[in-house]
Amino acid sequence: MPDAAAGTPLHIITLVKWVPDAQLERRFTEERHIDRSEGILGELDEHPLEAALRIKEAAEDREVRVTALTMGPAGAAAAAKKALQIGADDAFVLSDDALAGADISATSTALRAAIERVQEVSELDGELLVVTGMASEDGESGAVPAQLAERLGVHLLSQATSVELAEGRLVVTRTATVEQQTVSAALPAVVSVTDQANDPRYPNFKAIMAAKKKPMTELSLTSVGIGPTSVKPRAQVLTAEPRPPRHGGTVITDEGDAGVQIVDFLQKERVL
């Protein structure tokens, strides 16, 4: 059966975020923003990239471009570079001082403008598929994909555990609150994938060398056509206090009665 969408190029824009390494100590700045001066490509963002590359590899008779888009402070270009090494065709980095401390609303507003700008300058004129991870590892809200879909006016398929294109339509398996759903949707769409969707590849030496020749474009709010007022946060963090560290309590070595001692402890703490 001929592919209904054959001939129409597909533009997959994958969102990647440069996040503070969760293995290290993470903290808030005096402005009550998460300190984003150091970072890595979010582990959860390797899954959407992998999903995008597999769609590209499976597409036989249509041109597919995989673009990595990141938004963040100056260092965020490192996440875009890593995405190019893993296999993205090109990358865009949106960086602007007005985006420091962006909330969900500001982030999705800026990303929407960036995606539209990327489509314009790409001259691919293809169908749009935005693929994201299930959440960022710092903000952790998982709400940006939904806001982005709403702002772009396209379908949202979140929490996908598999993504395929069949005859030009998306077929996604997703985990809803009480059931597993297989959903078929037309493009354009935003799809967020979980860490169960695939096993991301590692870049090999050849891919790392090839990435040096791939285009990376810097964007600012001005170049994506929006002013600082439209990215004013709609939610404000009033206080940010480090949680008092947990201290270890009693540790005993089992001498044959540890099970009984635990039950004693639970009874004493009234948690039974």
Partner 1 sequence: MSAVLVYFESVGAELTTAQQELITLADAVGEVQVVTGSTTSDAVHALALEGVHTLYTGEGEIHAPDPAVIDLLETAVQETRAHAVLARNTADTTDALARLAVRLDTGLITDGVGLSHDLRITKSVLAGSYTTTARVAEGRPLIATLKPNSTEPYLVPGGAPEIVTLPVTPAAAEDLRVLERTPLEASDRPSLTEARCVVAGGRGLDGDFGPLEELADELGAALGASRAATDAGWIDHAAQIGQTGVTVSPQLYLSVGISGAIQQRAGMQTAQTIVAINKDEDAPVFEIADFGVVGDLFEVVPQMVEELRKRRS
Residues 5-44 binding partner 1 (CB under 8 A) are 22-23, 25-28, 32, 34, 43-44
**Rounded distance, CA 216 to CA 11, Å?**
16
Q: How far is the CB of 193 from partner 1 (least distance, A)?
A: 12
Residue 40 or 216: the one with the smaller Cβ distance to partner 1 is 40
CA atoms within 13 A on the CB side of 18: 25
Q: How far is the CB of 89 from partner 1 (least distance, A)?
A: 27
Q: Could you give the angle at the alpha carbon of 27 between the alpha carbons of 24 and 30, nearest 5°?
A: 155
**Rounded distance, CA 111 to CA 16, Å?**
11
**Rounded distance, CA 57 to CA 61, Å?**
11
**Rounded distance, CA 79 to CA 66, Å?**
15
Q: Total number of residues binding partner 1 (CB under 8 A)? A: 83
**Rounded distance, CA 226 to CA 221, Å?**
6
4 belongs to the binding site for partner 1 (CB under 8 A): no
Residues 239-258 that bind partner 1 (CB under 8 A): 239-243, 246-254, 257-258
**Rounded distance, CA 258 to CA 131, Å?**
50
Residue 181 or 204: the one with the smaller Cβ distance to partner 1 is 181
Q: How far is the CB of 126 from partner 1 (least distance, A)?
A: 18
Exactly one of 46, 98, 137, 224 binds partner 1 (CB under 8 A); that residue is 137
Exactly one of 8, 119, 162, 196 binds partner 1 (CB under 8 A); that residue is 196
Please give the structure tokens belonging to residue 23.
């293995």
Exactly one of 12, 84, 104, 224 binds partner 1 (CB under 8 A); that residue is 104
Q: Could you give the angle at the alpha carbon of 37 between the alpha carbons of 35 and 43, nearest 5°?
A: 85
Residue 212 or 234: the one with the smaller Cβ distance to partner 1 is 234
Exactly one of 75, 101, 142, 203 binds partner 1 (CB under 8 A); that residue is 142
Residue 42 or 87: the one with the smaller Cβ distance to partner 1 is 42
Q: How far is the CB of 143 from partner 1 (least distance, A)?
A: 4
Residue 30 or 179: the one with the smaller Cβ distance to partner 1 is 179
- Nearest Cα neighbor of 136 from 217, 39, 31 is 39
Q: What's the gap between Cα 29 and its chain centre?
A: 23
Residues 50-79 that bind partner 1 (CB under 8 A): none
**Rounded distance, CA 222 to CA 162, Å?**
36
Give bridge partners of residue 155 from the DSSP assignment.
189
Piece in contact with partner 1 (CB under 8 A), picked from 2-10, 50-58, 80-88, 135-143: 135-143
